[in-house]
Chain A
Amino acid sequence: MSAITMKNIVKKYGDGFPAVNDVSIDVEDGEFMILVGPSGCGKSTLLRMVVGLEDITSGDMLIGEKRVNDLAPKDRNLAMVFQNYALYPHLTVYENIAFPLRLAKVDDKTVDEKVREASRTLELDEHLERKPGNLSGGQRQRVAMGRAIVRDADAFLFDEPLSNLDAKLRGQMRTEISRLQKRLGITTLYVTHDQTEAMTLGDRVAVLKRGELQQLATPRELYENPGNLFVAGFIGSPPMNFLPCTVEGTKAELPFGTVEIPEDKAEKARGKGLLIAGLRPEHFEDASVVEDTGSSTFTATAEVVEWLGNETYAYLPFEAPDEMRGKLEELERDLDGEGLRTQLVVSLDGASTIKEGDEATIYVDTSKMHLFDPATGENLTVDTAKAGRIPGMEQHA
């Protein structure tokens, strides 16, 4: 077991395009680290550089204290689970799991002990003599994990291991991986594009966009203190709402009306003209179910209402000014999304009786509002002490 340290890692392909650009991540010993981002953000490339399947253009890759840049994959002592499992179809499950041990020329008795132990852990006992072709997706996934845990590897690497499973199985395997990692206490690097997996599994999460590290923090820090628009939009489901906003004194002017915001946030935003306000759906509430609304309420027409029992989602359309529309469309592209209409998604209490077409009075909790600079996407109201590491903002901290 070892820490993995990436220092200023750069990966450039033949055409000079940097797939990974100056990324530094330190994975502590025993930590569960997630690399997350939309497709094409370089997360898989980064993982493959750790394991040695891609060359590193520049920067240092350290496993433990040792620089491994020039070591072949077989000399790095890492175990990896591939997205498509990459099981050996001509070998039985038993031999698949035993494969790394056979290569290491371990004696048969030890091989048997270790394979049986791994298969017990992963509940593969009754499948040991079968070929991978006859197994279900979840079973294949477990065999791939068995092949990883059977060796005493320094770290586990997962490359989108759950993306081929159906939704229900994905949830089960997620818990399974988490439990396994906790029990073995092994350093783990896990690549995913799914923000739910990132939030639930990771001790810390590294968010990447177009080959650059955006923020490296715990899931909670990412959710509550996103460093920029991209992280804010990527983490959370339904995603954070982005509204045009101008701050005057302690009043913020939003498309639906003017609300009061706390002085410390107002201070950072004053005199900056048009800003983007970020508000999560749960920061809104039906004013009729809130006791003390203060002056932070506005009215709007609910176009669509989705009642889920425990909560209600209401969709309130608004017009964004042209200069902001461009920024939001760019953000959508970065997030792999579609340029949808500008609308506010609010999560209301299940007891709310707002119906489609109703003029609703909505309360907004502005103490959790974030304000973003529309030009740079930077979060002006970030609490740097509780935001992990945000490259480019370290000097302010």
Chain B
Amino acid sequence: MKQKIGLVAGVTLILAWCLLPVVWIVSLSMKDAAAVTNGSPGFWPGDAFAGFDNYVTVLTEDSYSQFRRAIVNSIGISLIATTLSVILATLAAYAIARLEFKGKKLVLTTALAIAMFPVVSLVSPLFDMWRAIGLYDTWAGLIIPYMSFTLPLAIWTLSAFFREIPWEMEQAAQVDGATSWQAFRRVIVPLAAPGVFTAAILTFFFAWNDFVFGITLTSTETARPIPASLSFFVGADPFNRPASLLSAAAVIATIPIVLIVLLFQRKIVSGLTSGAVKG
């Protein structure tokens, strides 16, 4: 009984800690813009309650068309980066887990080394390079760095998953008449699905939340993603950021993430390989 009370108290504490900022942003997004500018109206909207006005403004008014364009950019760039990254990582991880080749260790450590570089240190050289070869301010210009930064993690996650799958699965498939590719696609990939989706979620998060690349490697709304676009929000007064509109935009930007997690979470079923082999 005592333990249960402790558990409930602990869970409540952690939930409050994690959700407080979220609640604050949602609350802020429901407040009247003028009320926020005039001074703190308190935690809850109260008198300054503006309903969904801010959302409507952000999504419909002409001055915020760059934000709507940014949503399209973000979704497109993140999805393409995720798809390509996961496909490449799956193939690479399979090779690393199953094949013996020279330089296997090198591939793994190099992959990790890439992930260790601070993003900021690479942004300036990339800026120069992208401008020189014409990738500056394009979707591809963002997709490429997103992929290179998420591939290492995806490869490590997936090769761990592949190593868990017994060798016999492929061998059985091959004896049953499958080519190596068929064995991979029809037996190994379905079994590694939880790993593939884990890698996909992580990659998507990285691409969706990135600000540094987004702000540095774009200059117009042709490729600018949501986080960067938020920094271009200006209200009537240039010295006062429209906090409530920003909050509304931030909440909108969070919705796809929540949807994707809910969607993929069901695919991440642990113990999918149970029953494949005995013992």
Measuring CB to CB, which residues of chain A are less than 8 angstroms from any residue of chain B?
Answer: 51-53, 72-74, 78-80, 82, 84-90, 99-100, 103-104, 131-135, 137, 140, 147, 151, 164
- Count: A-B pairs, CB below 8 Å: 88
Tell me which residues across on chain B come within 8 A of A84, comparing CB atoms.
166, 168, 277-279
Shortest C-beta distance, A181 to chain B (Å), equals 18
A103 to B190, CA, bound (A): 16
Contacts A89-B191, A103-B182 given; does A140 touch B176 at CB 8 Å: no
**B240 in the interface (beta carbon within 8 A):** no
Q: Are A132 and B275 in contact (CB under 8 A)?
A: yes
Q: Are B178 and A140 in contact (CB under 8 A)?
A: no
Tell me which residues across on chain B come within 8 A of A53, comparing CB atoms.
171, 174-175
Residue of B nearest to A134 (CB): B275
Q: Are A89 and B275 in contact (CB under 8 A)?
A: yes
Cβ < 8 Å to A, chain B residues 135-164: none
* A53, A86, A88, A151 pick with most chain B CB within 10 angstroms: A86
Q: Are B190 and A90 in contact (CB under 8 A)?
A: yes
A235 to B275, CA, bound (A): 34
A51 to B176, CA, bound (A): 11
Q: Mark B166-194, 1 if CB is under 8 A from A, else 0.
A: 10110111111111001000110011010
Tell me which residues across on chain A come within 8 A of B190, comparing CB atoms.
90
A87 to B169, CA, bound (A): 7
**B220 in the interface (beta carbon within 8 A):** no
Q: Are B172 and A80 in contact (CB under 8 A)?
A: yes
Tell me which residues across on chain A come within 8 A of B174, comparing CB atoms.
52-53, 72-74
**B272 in the interface (beta carbon within 8 A):** yes
Q: Are B175 and A89 in contact (CB under 8 A)?
A: no
Measuring CB to CB, which residues of chain B are less than 8 angstroms from any residue of chain A?
Answer: 166, 168-169, 171-179, 182, 186-187, 190-191, 193, 272-279
Residue of A nearest to B276 (CB): A89
Tell me which residues across on chain A come within 8 A of B171, comparing CB atoms.
53, 73, 82, 86
Q: Are A88 and B175 in contact (CB under 8 A)?
A: no
Shortest C-beta distance, A64 to chain B (Å), equals 17
Q: Are B169 and A88 in contact (CB under 8 A)?
A: yes
A99 to B169, CA, bound (A): 12
Shortest C-beta distance, B191 to chain A (Å), equals 6
A88 to B272, CA, bound (A): 10
Going nearest first, the 4 A-B pairs with the smallest beta carbon separation are A133-B275, A84-B277, A86-B168, A86-B172
A72 to B176, CA, bound (A): 11
* A52, A85, A131 pick with most chain B CB within 10 angstroms: A85
Residue of A nearest to B189 (CB): A90
Would you give 11 A-B contacts (Cβ < 8 Å), ordered by A? A52-B175, A53-B171, A72-B179, A74-B178, A87-B172, A87-B275, A88-B276, A90-B191, A90-B193, A103-B177, A133-B274
Shortest C-beta distance, A92 to chain B (Å), equals 11
Tell me which residues across on chain B come within 8 A of A99, comparing CB atoms.
173, 176
Q: Are B278 and A89 in contact (CB under 8 A)?
A: no
Residue of B nearest to A100 (CB): B176
A88 to B170, CA, bound (A): 10
Q: Are B278 and A100 in contact (CB under 8 A)?
A: no
A100 to B169, CA, bound (A): 13
Shortest C-beta distance, B274 to chain A (Å), equals 5
Shortest C-beta distance, B129 to chain A (Å), equals 43
* B175, B272, B274, B278 pick with most chain A CB within 10 angstroms: B175
Q: Are B276 and A86 in contact (CB under 8 A)?
A: yes
Residue of B nearest to A89 (CB): B276
Q: Are A140 and B275 in contact (CB under 8 A)?
A: yes
A85 to B168, CA, bound (A): 8
Q: Are A140 and B175 in contact (CB under 8 A)?
A: no
Tell me which residues across on chain B come within 8 A of A100, comparing CB atoms.
176-177
A133 to B277, CA, bound (A): 9
Q: Which of B182, B186, B276 contacts A87 (CB 8 A)?
A: B276
A84 to B175, CA, bound (A): 15
Q: A73-B175, A86-B277 are in contact. List 15 more A-B contacts (CB 8 A).
A: A51-B175, A73-B174, A74-B177, A78-B175, A84-B166, A86-B169, A86-B171, A86-B276, A87-B277, A88-B172, A88-B187, A90-B190, A100-B177, A131-B275, A134-B275
A182 to B273, CA, bound (A): 34
Q: Are A89 and B274 in contact (CB under 8 A)?
A: yes
